[in-house]
Structure 1
């Protein structure tokens, strides 16, 4: 039996530990705080299939199938059935990218159907599409279900260092423990690159800080898709018509509150300090201004904030890669929540076979901009 440590109990670390246990590995899962409390924080994420890199579309489609398996296994809805809406000039590119995938139904939306599905949105008559099997990921439910299943494997410790030993094992040192394993998997968000560097793996991760704000409906605002019996879909707005591009939004599980974020973030120094803390406040102000213009069905006074670190790879906002050698595997990338089931599966395969599957080896530059 392979004795494995997974460092980090965000959604990807939980998925990796779950997949390893399902394949018979002996797993210890390290996390210093509550599971899902770092870069996985918040009540919702967008599940979408469209990406610039067609190889990433295939990975995401596999992940969608695994989300369904998790729903059956855990007995809880994990992705809402209300679809993912995108608007803006990029819609045609998204439709072309998804056309070869017959198991990923997508279609254009008329202005009337767009309003029916997303009545919170201001008038928009330009290109719009619906990713039918997209939707809002129920993040808290997913983290809770996995954490409950893995509770006997979870060790509440802060990992200080990881290193290879002369005995061909990998040592993990925490505040109060020192253990060795056959294999260690790093899924520690912002902490992945520093831990990997100490063990001889250099990951080119760029770190920034991001903000998402949550808004409630106005007193007279539309409440979900009540008129049509549906909940709210997620939204990607690349139109620029409302003053911003790269906007994303997802409904809370209650179907009313909407979490909204902009694609930008504020850079951080190598030591983890923000280059300009005021820029994070400015990003929040821009988000409020966008809601005032684009989502008149929402009260523009935020009711909740999520501040989190963002870890990007240099080849694209959706870039993802696995580094693996000599008993140590590390995952890095951005926008990974929707891919968590497939990434967990891939990390387990990497540990047990010694080979990074598919296009996930970092040299493949999966998710690169421009496809």
Structure 2
């Protein structure tokens, strides 16, 4: 660990990195604790979807703000962070979310016909139902984002699992890791599945349901398409409701996953181990039916933890306990830039934004 710091951030996924970077941009001395390599826990993989569409208008507004920060970072770091090919969503749920987007405003999204859908998403089998295109959505270049933020933080990244958080007073919190012990005026915990454990150490019981997720990567059969949008399929026309897919850099591979997750006990064991294999098999069958442009035999797998909140599949909340903030939620990668700035403001005395309270 290099020098002293005012704020500690626990967890080196995209939310922790965004928060630590926002603090550093404010001129705050920060340490970021990560047990392993940054971005290799719940933030693992090469691609995620940036989408504006949500059922909750507050999350739409938050995503709209985050998209602006993604663009700002791309220019500052000199690297593409969100692809320019947009997101297509199919099914009645897409039209319902389009109505929310229209109500919030400021997002370029519109209904499209089957011809435009085929042009935007050439890997998809024939489909003539409801479809929506989010123009400034796209595939988040996750590894580029993780690397850029990690590089910016430099020696502020501390390798070591945090084993305890102990508030000594309203202005001092002791953080013990496997490699040391230090005191901070504020601590922000965004440690994925470990967040609930660390919250219990200060008397908070967070309503997190721990689950596991499976995401498979498939190769494009022919030449990589020049452009290909991300996909959200809520139609059920191809045998599944709740599928998402995103191209990897170069468009020669496509990551596909079901929104469904597998329940996990508090100790990390699966409630039904066979369910993981079932999600894998269902994703393969979906690809064979819906995405004939892909080789149905997966090339890569990503298995990661999910921290669900009970009120929404896109649930997000921040709990405060004295000088410590605890962040939990699901599908947070797209929201990380704005969430990091909001957490940095809260950690430096500006208060927590109302939309982030549980």
Place the TM-score, normalised by the shorter chain, in its bin: over 0.9
Q: Aligned in 2, Cα 1:240/1:170: closer, same or farther, shift over 3 Å?
A: same
Please state how far the C-alpha of 1:138 moved relative to its aligned partner: 0.3
- 8 Å contact from structure 2 (residues 86, 230) kept in 1: yes
Please state how far the C-alpha of 1:354 moved relative to its aligned partner: 5.3
* Larger displacement relative to structure 2 (158-167 or 40-49): 158-167
Query: Which residues in structure 2 correspond to 1:1-371 (within 5 Å)?
Result: 3-166=6-169, 168-218=171-221, 221=222, 223-224=224-225, 226=226, 231-353=227-349, 355-362=351-358
Extract structure 1 runs of 4+ deviating beyond 2 A.
Answer: 100-103
| Structure 2 partner of 1:366 | none
Deviations 1:79-105 (A, max 9, x none): 001000000111221221111344211
Counterpart of 1:269 in 2: which secondary structure?
Answer: coil
CA–CA distance in structure 2, aligned partners of residues 235 and 55 of structure 1? 22
RMSD between aligned residues: 1.3
Q: Aligned in 2, Cα 1:167/1:53: closer, same or farther, shift over 3 Å?
A: closer
Structure 2: runs of 5 or more not aligned: none
CA–CA distance in structure 1, aligned partners of residues 169 and 187 of structure 2? 15
Deviations 1:297-348 (A, max 9, x none): 0000000000000001111100100111311001000000000000000100
- 8 Å contact from structure 1 (residues 83, 134) kept in 2: yes
CA–CA distance in structure 2, aligned partners of residues 78 and 123 of structure 1? 30
CA–CA distance in structure 2, aligned partners of residues 163 and 18 of structure 1? 24
Please state how far the C-alpha of 1:223 moved relative to its aligned partner: 2.7
Number of residue pairs matched by the alignment: 355
- 8 Å contact from structure 2 (residues 171, 186) kept in 1: no
CA–CA distance in structure 2, aligned partners of residues 2 and 60 of structure 1? 30
Please state how far the C-alpha of 1:274 moved relative to its aligned partner: 1.2
Structure 1: runs of 5 or more not aligned: 363-371
